[in-house]
């Protein structure tokens, strides 16, 4: 009996290949970086932030959506906390808030102050027990309440009472802008014929729409957001809570997406009519057969990457994985036949790697270490020898897997270790480290998208589909890799998009 060849193909990663330049009549500013995230959702910039607890919470998700990408909220949170973060993103910017946060006349100024801080708003509508609008309380109303009086001062004593400037349900956006200009107000409550509050429009939302024209939004004008779930235990309850909070994309996020539990929950989500408006991403896989299994289960996109992340140790702990360029290419062979987009997750070090991932067959890329150093990522700045860093860890690291006091780790089942009886029996597949501080996400995203546009210029592609069609690889040697980076000089000033 012939033995199967264990060395069936060579695995290549980003440093093993380079894109060939070609004839071009494109300049970088003309390149269109719009791409498909899922079967139904497009993004203006093909960037996603990873579902990691040192990368993506609500602040990062908001910033990513504003830059034309998407943030995926990590699941190392309780169900309530993760759903609340979805709610914060959906409320952060919208054409009209259909379910605005409100307060009552009997609430205290301290309670309103806490709500405003939680949702990053400057004021709240005040409603009675029947939902009828009776006033509005803003920073201006609370400004002169002494700190020691806030816990005893009631909203009814400081709020601006009715009548207020309001608009009826169904008001045209242009009419709303005219009302803002005429009356010099910042918040416009929307009421029905009975005076009940039905929504809220803020002038800041119009300002944000002009400032972030490429933002990723849903049909109602709200920022889109994704959130990760598992397949075990509370996964279904987590999914339903996320649905109620308004999530746009659910990511079934595990270390091995080609497993029965992952495929079962994807089928269940896709067959439930309640989730008809929510797209489901499955992952992670690294082979053609794994991608085909997710396609057959009904996934709206496939996440590819087993072990390429800078903080991942799966390939040395388990000896399993596929170098990322080959993994993306193999997965794309299955996905493209069904029109299912591919997400290249992990292993990207430079903006040029984004273009390589797209040419290999991806439609978007998911970033961890490149974004963990941004202002918007969770965690505080750390100073080491006078330089600024932020903490970054793999979701398979001991810190992410271990129980912390009364808090359970919700990451254990990502690595199929929910049945491990104690923390000292965990098998870690990641490390904890630090990455250089990189400043605001807007600057980092600009450099990454700019590098992609440069790639499109060199290959003569005006769009991402053209880049995927025209792009060709050349394999390089170790000497070629050395030649590709700055060499034989003492570097004095680093470029903003290049770090040694």
Active site residues per annotation: 312, 414
Binding residues for K(+): 307, 309, 312, 483-485
d(CA 492, CA 488): 13
Whether residue 36 contacts residue 463, with contact meaning beta carbons closer than 8 Å, is answered with: no
d(CA 92, CA 99): 12
**Three-class DSSP category at 49:** strand
Burial class (CB in 10 A: 0-12, 13-18, 19+), 409: buried
Whether residue 354 contacts residue 497, with contact meaning beta carbons closer than 8 Å, is answered with: no
Cα separations in angstroms, 229 against 72, 74, 76, 149: 10, 8, 9, 43
Binding residues: 253-255, 305-307, 309-310, 312, 345-347, 368-369, 392-396, 429, 483-485
DSSP 249: E
Closest CA to 225 of 43, 412, 71: 71
Cα separations in angstroms, 3 against 6, 7, 8, 319: 9, 11, 12, 21
DSSP per-residue letters across 136-201: EEEHHHHTTS-GGGTTT-BGGGTSEESS---EETT--HHHHHHHHHHHT-SEEEEE-TT-BEEEEE
**Three-class DSSP category at 132:** strand
Binding residues for IMP: 310, 345-347, 368-369, 392-396, 429
């Amino acid at each position: 009996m012939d033995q199967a060849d264990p060395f069936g193909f060579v695995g290549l990663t980003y440093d093993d290949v380079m894109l060939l330049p070609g004839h071009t009549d494109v300049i970088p500013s003309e390149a269109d970086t719009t791409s498909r995230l899922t079967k139904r959702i497009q993004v203006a910039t093909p960037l996603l932030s990873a579902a990691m607890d040192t990368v993506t919470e609500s602040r990062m998700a908001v910033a990513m959506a504003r830059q034309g990408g998407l943030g995926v909220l990590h699941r190392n949170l309780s169900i309530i906390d993760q759903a609340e973060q979805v709610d914060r993103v959906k409320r952060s910017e919208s054409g009209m808030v259909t379910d605005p946060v409100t307060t009552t006349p009997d609430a205290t100024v301290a309670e309103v102050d806490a709500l405003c801080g939680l949702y990053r708003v400057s004021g709240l509508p005040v409603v009675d027990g029947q939902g009828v609008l009776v006033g509005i309380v803003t920073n201006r109303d609370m400004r002169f309440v002494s700190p020691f009086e806030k816990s005893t001062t009631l909203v009814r004593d400081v709020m601006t009472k009715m009548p207020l400037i309001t608009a009826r349900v169904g008001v045209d956006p242009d009419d709303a802008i005219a009302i803002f200009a005429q009356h010099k107000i910042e918040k416009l409550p929307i009421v029905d014929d009975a005076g009940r509050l039905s929504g809220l429009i803020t002038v800041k939302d119009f300002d944000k729409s002009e400032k972030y024209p490429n933002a990723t939004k849903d049909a109602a004008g709200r920022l889109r957001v994704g959130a990760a779930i598992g397949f075990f235990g509370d996964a279904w309850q987590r999914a339903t809570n996320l649905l109620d909070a308004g999530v746009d994309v659910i990511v079934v996020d595990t270390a091995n997406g080609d497993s029965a539990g992952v495929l079962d929950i994807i089928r269940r989500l896709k067959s439930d009519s309640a989730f008809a408006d929510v797209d489901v991403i499955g992952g992670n896989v690294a082979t053609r057969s794994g991608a085909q299994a997710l396609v057959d289960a009904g996934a709206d996109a496939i996440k590819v990457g087993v072990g390429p992340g800078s903080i991942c140790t799966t390939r040395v702990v388990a000896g399993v994985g596929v170098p990322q360029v080959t993994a993306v290419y193999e997965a794309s062979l299955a996905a493209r036949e069904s029109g299912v987009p591919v997400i290249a997750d992990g292993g990207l070090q430079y903006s040029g790697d984004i273009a390589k991932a797209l040419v290999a067959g991806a439609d978007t890329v998911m970033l961890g270490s490149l974004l963990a150093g941004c202002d918007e990522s969770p965690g505080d700045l750390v100073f080491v020898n006078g330089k600024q860093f932020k903490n970054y860890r793999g979701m398979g690291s001991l810190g992410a897997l271990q129980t912390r006091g009364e808090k359970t780790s919700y990451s254990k089942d990502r690595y199929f270790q929910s049945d491990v009886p104690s923390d000292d029996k965990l098998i870690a597949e990641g490390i904890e480290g630090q990455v250089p501080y990189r400043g605001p996400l807007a600057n980092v995203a600009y450099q990454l998208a700019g590098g992609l546009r440069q790639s499109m210029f060199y290959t003569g592609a005006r769009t991402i589909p053209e880049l995927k069609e025209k792009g060709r690889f050349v394999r390089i040697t170790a000497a070629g890799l050395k030649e590709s980076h700055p060499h034989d000089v003492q570097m004095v000033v680093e470029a903003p998009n290049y770090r040694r």
